[in-house]
Amino acid sequence: MSRGALVKRNKRNIVIITPFVVLKYRKDWNLRKIFWEFLLTWRAFLHGVSEIPVLCGPVMVRKTATGVLLAKADLKRVWPDVLRTVAVLSRAGIEHKELRHPQHHVVIGGDGKKINILDFERGKLTAKPRNLSRFVVWLLERGVEGEDIEKVLNSLKNVPIHDVEGARKAIKKRKEGRS
């Protein structure tokens, strides 16, 4: 493994993230799931929020830009761009389902502008994605102010209204909890 590579393990797959390539090996050989994840990653690529996937049997390979995981990035600097990228995912009709814990699913490019979202294993296509709601809850838990999030939400265009409303509801609940 090259220097600087990161390995994320769970029961069903192993993801290896390096500065040049992301390899994901599926242990369960469920070809339907592997193909579905490939299709969702391809759709995300077409919308500019993921890198092009290549499927080689039970291994999915994505070429990726040099970057760091969201967990290691300067959150105060990158969260507005990540929120906009998550909105693109919602606009595309893709529900990621793991953006409640995005620290290992979002890679920030070296310049901080290119943001890639990885691991669409549990994702689905839907008319009512809830990506913004989940990500906003995560941001609020990390100390990002609701007013700042609200400003970015107001600037978003063509995002499913229920997703934006869900994010605003989370902000409102957080404000009420502090009072």
**What ranges do the domains of the chain cover?**
6-63, 67-178
Q: Tell me the Cα Rg of the chain.
A: 16
pLDDT higher than 80, residue 12: no
Residue 158: Cβ-neighbour burial (10 angstroms; 0-12, 13-18, 19+): exposed
User: Cα(49)–Cα(63) distance, rounded to whole angstroms?
Assistant: 13
Residue type, 48: G
Residue type, 161: I
CB 120 within 8 A of CB 153: no
Q: What is the pLDDT of residue 2?
A: 44
User: Cα(145)–Cα(70) distance, rounded to whole angstroms?
Assistant: 18
Over range 143-154, report the average pLDDT: 94
More confident site: 21 or 136: 136
Q: Which CATH superfamily is domain 67-178 in?
A: Transferase(Phosphotransferase) domain 1 (1.10.510.10)
User: Cα(136)–Cα(146) distance, rounded to whole angstroms?
Assistant: 9
pLDDT higher than 90, residue 175: no
Over range 150-159, report the average pLDDT: 94
pLDDT band for 4, please (50, 70, 90 cuts).
low
Residue type, 111: D
Over range 130-159, report the average pLDDT: 94
Q: What is the pLDDT of residue 65?
A: 56
CB 92 within 8 A of CB 50: no
pLDDT higher than 90, residue 79: yes
Looking at mean pLDDT, say which of 22-36, 49-63, 76-90, 110-124 comes out highest. 76-90
The whole-chain average pLDDT of the chain stands at 86
Which residue in 1, 29, 27 sits closest to 13, CA to CA? 27
Model confidence pLDDT, tens digit, residues 25-42: 777 777 788 888 899 999
